[in-house]
Structure 1
């Protein structure tokens, strides 16, 4: 960003300098003493001459191009800078989603945020480089966590407990196995939200699920 800013300022200054440099005066003179350029020379017949077209002022044209380029580059830099701190920017939305849904994957981000897979992957890598999120390879999948979430598998329970919805699920299951509908009543969360968090907790080895009859029962792993 600093390099782009310096380049834009340099282009702008050079362009303005060229715009205000006076055109070089035509210093060509006549070979006859005392006769100014363009005056008829005594003793020579006067021949009509077609007016010469004005030559383009390349100095001013170059200055105008550089000035416009520098100004446009400054506007682009400002827009990018504003976007990077805008809560509605893609990077911020992705980081917020990962914070609220630790352990989510790229497919989850694409599905729930609606961005293309390429754009999502680009923003994820930018967040990783800036140490704002962390990438974890777990059970043949890539998961994303907020920066600072414990890395070892033994800390997955404490990491999940640090978030509101997973913590509520873990607390409810602490009293014994529950079905999805019972968990919804205990935690006050919707069924779709519970399914998402239960799947993540089960994949991370925090809880287990067992189907008995028509119901699936969830319980904490010992």
Structure 2
């Protein structure tokens, strides 16, 4: 089935993403997802679907949600390349208002993807080494 094959390549996809990728109608995708769930071949967390044999932990699902945003992916990549980078340096690097950056950093730290540490009155960020080990 094309939907299950798509989910194997893109675990955590939403119904809208599946519709766009497969070309099926929304109703057809909804029906087939329901059938796949009844057959225990697909699992759902909030609005995201996963192959049943690749069902993520809540922690993995949270990390997946956090990194689906392009801005957060960019922030995460820069932090990975520059461990110990300050919020101010990060804001200058990506040319984003500090308030917006703070919001994105909050999402990344909430999901334990990024660690923050206060060094001489400055908050510095680095990638959580536990996340890197899980991702390998």
User: Any idea what SS the aligned residue of 1:218 has?
Assistant: strand
Q: Which moved more, 1:177-186 or 1:152-161?
A: 152-161
Q: Structure 2 regions of 5+ residues with no counterpart?
A: 1-44, 50-55, 130-136
Q: Distance in 1 between matches of 2:90 and 2:78?
A: 7
Partner of 2:22: none
User: Any idea what SS the aligned residue of 2:126 has?
Assistant: strand
In structure 2, which of residues 68, 90, 95 is the aligned counterpart of residue 188 of structure 1?
95
In structure 2, which of residues 71, 75, 78 is the aligned counterpart of residue 169 of structure 1?
75
Are the counterparts in 1 of residues 86 and 122 from structure 2 also a CA contact under 8 Å?
A: yes
Partner of 1:152: 58
Q: Distance in 1 between matches of 2:124 and 2:88?
A: 10
Number of residue pairs the alignment of both structures matches: 78
User: Any idea what SS the aligned residue of 1:217 has?
Assistant: strand
User: Any idea what SS the aligned residue of 2:48 has?
Assistant: coil
Q: Which runs of 4+ in 1 moved over 4 A?
A: none
Query: By how many angstroms is 1:146 displaced?
Result: 7.1
Partner of 1:220: 127
Are the counterparts in 2 of residues 177 and 217 from structure 1 also a CA contact under 8 Å?
A: yes
Are the counterparts in 2 of residues 184 and 191 from structure 1 also a CA contact under 8 Å?
A: yes
Query: By how many angstroms is 1:191 displaced?
Result: 0.2
Are the counterparts in 1 of residues 114 and 127 from structure 2 also a CA contact under 8 Å?
A: yes
Of structures 1 and 2, the larger Rg is shown by: 1
Query: By how many angstroms is 1:178 displaced?
Result: 0.8
Compute the RMSD of aligned alpha carbons.
Answer: 2.3
Q: Distance in 1 between matches of 2:63 and 2:47?
A: 16
Are the counterparts in 2 of residues 156 and 206 from structure 1 also a CA contact under 8 Å?
A: no
Higher relative contact order (CA 8 A, sep 6+): 2
* Structure with greater proportional strand content: 2
User: Any idea what SS the aligned residue of 1:168 has?
Assistant: helix
Partner of 1:201: 108
